[in-house]
Each structure stands twice: as structure tokens, then as C-alpha cells.
Structure 1
Amino acid sequence: MTNVVLVRHEADYGFGNYLFETPVDLKKGQRVRVKTRRGESDAIVMHDSAKVDENALAMMVTACHASLPLAPVISVYSFIPVGRGVKNM
């Protein structure tokens, strides 16, 4: 089983979704950093990640015009509130 996710690069302006392998479960709307053949890029998760078997992976790779091995998600951004409105704990 391979955990995969569809993302859209932030600088893409609607040119499509791309398939990546992810070591963690991701949810739609999360911001991530992915490794591409052109370097690292920020992206937004377009659909929740899913664990798929080899047959489903082959179909997704073909449909997304991707190639194996898939490039990885390398980090997930988290929201850390700072400044006014943050209560001291």
C-alpha cells in the first residue's frame, strides 16, 4: 500500500493537480512542501490522502500523467498563532 495525495502548486494558477507520495495522512486544504524535479515547492492538498494498492496506484499514475517512483511530500506547514489575541498559558 502506498499513501498518496493530490496537490496543487501554489504558483500554478489552475494548471492542474499533481500526485505525490506522503508519509503522513493529509487533509484537504492543508499546506505542504513537496519535492519536484525543479526543486522544492509549496502546495495545497486538494483531496484527502489515501492508501492505495498497486493496481489503484498504477491507474492514478496514468490518469495524472505522473511517473513512478512518485516524488514525496517533505513537510507539512502548521499554524502557530502569535501576537495579539493569543492567551498566555
Structure 2
Amino acid sequence: MPDTSMEPSISKGNMLLVDTSAKKIVPDTKNIYALVKSKTGLVSSRVKEDALGKLLWTNSRGENVATTTDKELSQYEVAARVVMRTGAL
């Protein structure tokens, strides 16, 4: 993990074990996904769905939430789902 955007769940320097066969987002609060937006950048985010749409958020500084539409979310490609993390060596 290159930064602190997912702390306290995932810390900077943690190694992540990811499932690259996960190509679909299941909108809940448990899973963290590695998402690629428009083939330019990799982000780690949780995805949740409510009555107003889908929410993408990181864990740092509470919940940094961004509401997104299905159209906006379609710009993201699921690279993997995080299944395990380990502390930095």
C-alpha cells in the first residue's frame, strides 16, 4: 500500500493479497477493491450502495465519501478485491 488513504484498515507499507478474479463490485461495507479509473490510476476504495446511489470511500480521516452514479462507476475497472493484508517488513 503506497499511502495512508485506507488507514486504519490498511496502513502505508502493508502488503496486500488480492483476488484478481474478482471483476465485479459487490456494494457492501466489507470489501476493499483495487480500482483502475480510465486505465490511468489505481485506487483502493470501499463501495457501498444506498437509496441515492453508490458510495466510494476511503478510511482515512473518518469516511471520505464520494457519491457516484452507475455511469461514473462504469469508468472504473475492478483490478482486484483485497482479501488479506500483512504488516510492513
The TM-score by the shorter chain falls in which range?
0.3 to 0.5
TM-score (norm 1): 0.35
| Larger strand percent | 2
| Larger helix percent | 1
